Structure 1
Amino acid sequence: MADIIKRTTLMVRDGDKAKNWYEQVFGMTAWMDTPFTLSGNQLAAGKKGDETRLIILKCEDDLIGMIGLLEWLNPKQDAPKQLPTRIEFGTPIFVVASNDAKGAVERARALGSHIHCEPHEWQVTGADGKKKDMIGCSFWDLDGYFFEVNQIVKVHD
């Protein structure tokens, strides 16, 4: 069996606010929410004995596409004072397939997200060679992670 990437974990300032954002904007649901103490071995952040909280959210699948939210409880982890407004090298870009791109950007805006691109129509040729009419938008979450949201409107034969 080939390896799979099942989850991306994001460091967040406030686990409850971040959880609410993902639930409201993308309709994700909590799969797990647990405190744990770092061992000091595997994670290249913090140190042994740090107390953290891991919230794992899911969309439709119980194995892939999950997002983890990692909050430092004790000691609090330093977070950037200013959130990004541009994507830099090494910054992830999360691409979301949505049934409601316009609604996603409005929900993100209402929760305080910086909107990069308002919903607009565009067209792409998929890997199958078929043209797809899309609605796309993009924005940052409350901790500075960037999301490109796309909705398929029509697939041309």
Structure 2
Amino acid sequence: MADIIKRTTMMVRDGDRAKNWYEQVFGMTAWMDTPFTLSGTQLAAGKKGDKTRLIILKCEDDLIGMIGLLEWLDPKMDAPAELPTEIQFGAPVFVVASEDAKGALERARALGSRIHCEPREWTVTGADGKQKDMIGCSFWDLDGYFYEVNQVVRIHD
């Protein structure tokens, strides 16, 4: 069996606020929410004894595509004063397949997200060679992670 990437974990300023954003914008649900103490070995952040909280959210699958929200409780971790306005080298771009891209953008806007691209129509040729009409938009979450949200409107035969 080949390895799979099952989750991406991101450091967040406020676990409850971030959890609410993902639940409201993408309809994710909590899979796990637990405090834990860092061992100081495996994670390349913080130090041994730091108290953290890990919230894991899922969409439709219980194994892949989950999001982890890691909050430092004690000591609080310093966060950048300003959130990014462009994607930097080494930063992820999360791509979401949505049934309602416009709605996701409006929910993100209502919760205070910075919008990069309003919904727009575009066409792409998929890996199967078929053209797909899409609606796409993009925005940042409340901690500065970038999301491209795409909705398939029509697949051409």
Q: TM-score range by the shorter chain?
A: over 0.9
Which secondary structure state, in structure 1, belongs to the residue aligned with residue 60 of structure 2?
coil
Distance in 2 (alpha carbons) for counterparts of 1:33 and 1:148: 26
2:38 maps to 38
| TM-score, normalisation: structure 1 | 1.00
Distance in 2 (alpha carbons) for counterparts of 1:4 and 1:40: 25
Alignment of 1:114-133 (within 5 A): 114-133=114-133
CA positional deviation for 1:144: 0.0
CA positional deviation for 1:9: 0.1
Which secondary structure state, in structure 2, belongs to the residue aligned with residue 21 of structure 1?
helix
1:27 maps to 27
Matched pairs, number: 157
2:56 maps to 56
Distance in 1 (alpha carbons) for counterparts of 2:87 and 2:50: 30
Distance in 1 (alpha carbons) for counterparts of 2:151 and 2:61: 19
Which secondary structure state, in structure 2, belongs to the residue aligned with residue 153 of structure 1?
strand
Distance in 1 (alpha carbons) for counterparts of 2:73 and 2:34: 12
1:15 maps to 15
Distance in 2 (alpha carbons) for counterparts of 1:85 and 1:57: 25
Which secondary structure state, in structure 2, belongs to the residue aligned with residue 25 of structure 1?
helix
1:109 maps to 109
Does residue 156 of structure 1 match 2:156?
Answer: yes
Does residue 76 of structure 1 match 2:76?
Answer: yes
The code of the aligned residue for 1:57 comes to: L
Distance in 1 (alpha carbons) for counterparts of 2:98 and 2:110: 18
| Paired-residue identity, % | 86
Distance in 2 (alpha carbons) for counterparts of 1:34 and 1:87: 30
Unpaired segments of 5 or more residues in structure 2? none
The code of the aligned residue for 1:32 comes to: M
Unpaired segments of 5 or more residues in structure 1? none
Distance in 1 (alpha carbons) for counterparts of 2:115 and 2:80: 19
Distance in 1 (alpha carbons) for counterparts of 2:46 and 2:137: 34
The code of the aligned residue for 1:33 comes to: D
2:4 maps to 4
1:93 maps to 93
CA positional deviation for 1:120: 0.4
